[in-house]
């Protein structure tokens, strides 16, 4: 049959990666695209973590101020902790 080898019916053809026969420029292009995507994701993560750190610092400062106010109320004889929940 024209020199072609035929596989038996019950045998699958060998699997060859689609990237096996690509040229170097295609591989470089794909690698550059992946690097750019990773860099963008890292920048987004860094931005979100900076926002979270700023939010946590603001909450810590708010708690510190509340403790100072509670202590000042206690010093002036108005009671140590407020019984009313702040909204």
Query: Is 32 within the bounds of a domain?
Result: yes
* Band of residue 35 on the pLDDT scale cut at 50, 70, 90: very high
pLDDT confidence band for 79 (50 / 70 / 90): confident
Q: What is the mean pLDDT of the chain?
A: 83
Alpha helices in the chain (DSSP H): 24-76
Q: Are 49 and 55 in contact (CB under 8 A)?
A: no
pLDDT surpassing 60 at residue 1:
no
C-alpha separations of 35 from 25, 28, 29, 40, 42 in Å: 15, 10, 10, 9, 10
* Domains contained in the chain, number: 1
- Residue linked to tokens 């690698």: 31
Say if residue 7's pLDDT is above 80.
no
For residue 76, the model assigns a pLDDT of 87
Range of the domain at 39: 16-87
What distance in Å separates the CA atoms of residue 46 and residue 50, rounded to the nearest whole number?
Answer: 6
pTM, rounded to two decimals: 0.56
């Amino acid at each position: 049959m024209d020199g072609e080898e035929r596989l038996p019916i019950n045998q699958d053809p060998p699997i060859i990666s689609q990237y096996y026969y690509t040229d170097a420029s295609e591989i470089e292009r794909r690698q550059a695209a992946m690097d750019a995507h990773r860099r963008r994701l890292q920048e987004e993560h860094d931005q979100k973590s900076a926002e979270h750190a700023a939010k946590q610092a603001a909450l810590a400062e708010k708690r510190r101020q509340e403790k100072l106010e509670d202590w000042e109320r206690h010093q002036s004889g108005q009671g140590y902790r407020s019984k009313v929940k702040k909204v």
